[in-house]
Amino acid sequence: MVEKLKVKSASFSYDGKINIFEKVSFSIESGDVLCILGPNGAGKSTLIMCMGHILNLTEGRVWLYGRDMAGLNHRQIAQKIGYIPQRHNPVFPYSVLDVVLMGRAAHLGRLSSPGRKDRDIAQKAIERVGIPHLIKKPYTEISGGEMQLVLIAMVLAQEPSILLLDEPTSHLDFGNQVRILNVITGLAEEGLSIIMSSHFPDHAFVTANKAAIMKQGESMLMGEPDVVITEETMRTTYGVDVKILSLDSDSHRKVCIPLH
């Protein structure tokens, strides 16, 4: 069986001089949740954008279902990969339904606009993330947490099998962070593969079965969250002392607590 997404010795540079990340290799299978940690400026967003072909790798290759991504166009990639940027700046107050419908673009002809079937799919995606009551509201007049759910519904309407979420919980309050993480876990259980970045080691413990740590100028550390996220790696990555504890003796859930 071929991997959904396979990355081999990927490097990226904006200016051709300094590599943002270097020789990154990994692969993603069905139901995988990969949580990428690392300090600001480590290249998390850049790596995620390269996976979605928003940016092109300087070196290395990405295979999507065994096909070299360099040979695919945006439309073909969008049918398999959904991406939500770290920050979305809304301009026009489209209704929630209109926004979610835009997710259908990759499945529509060049000149067509969404029809009844697309509306059904959008409706289902909106219900899937639990915001059917907002369907007619302008998406500029809802809370940050709700807006993130709208964007998730939008990429779900795209019917991808891989989701790239760049800090899906940034700018959200504590409750909304947990709610978004729950949605992500649920989607992974349905077979979607998710690559997300986060600033919280705990998010990796809660949702991910794979964790990676990026740091500029160093190779990416990747593996099971319990193995990758240790007191040692947190100190070398972020320069802070943390204590990693098991939540209770029965489960394997771990938590990461800063010491100072």
- Whether the CB-CB separation of 259 and 235 falls below 8 Å is answered with no
- Whether the CB-CB separation of 223 and 25 falls below 8 Å is answered with no
| Residue number, 87 or 253, with CB nearest to another protein | 87
Tell me: does residue 142 bind another protein (CB under 8 A): no
Report CA torsion sign: 35, 8, 65, 122: positive
Phi, psi of 205 (to 5 degrees): -65, -40
- Whether the CB-CB separation of 78 and 106 falls below 8 Å is answered with yes
Tell me: does residue 111 bind another protein (CB under 8 A): yes
Q: Which of 41, 66, 93, 186 lies at the binding interface for another protein (CB under 8 A)? A: 93
User: In whole angstroms, how close is the CB of 208 to another protein at the nearest point?
Assistant: 22
Q: How far apart are CA 35 and CA 116, in angstroms?
A: 36
Chain residues 208-237 in contact with another protein, contact rule CB under 8 A: none
- Whether the CB-CB separation of 184 and 31 falls below 8 Å is answered with no
Stretch that binds another protein, among 49-57, 58-66, 220-228, 250-258 (CB under 8 A): 49-57
Stretch that binds another protein, among 29-37, 112-120, 217-225, 248-256 (CB under 8 A): 112-120
Residues that bind another protein (CB under 8 A): 49, 52-54, 73-79, 81-85, 88-95, 98-99, 102-103, 105-106, 110-114, 140, 155, 158, 164
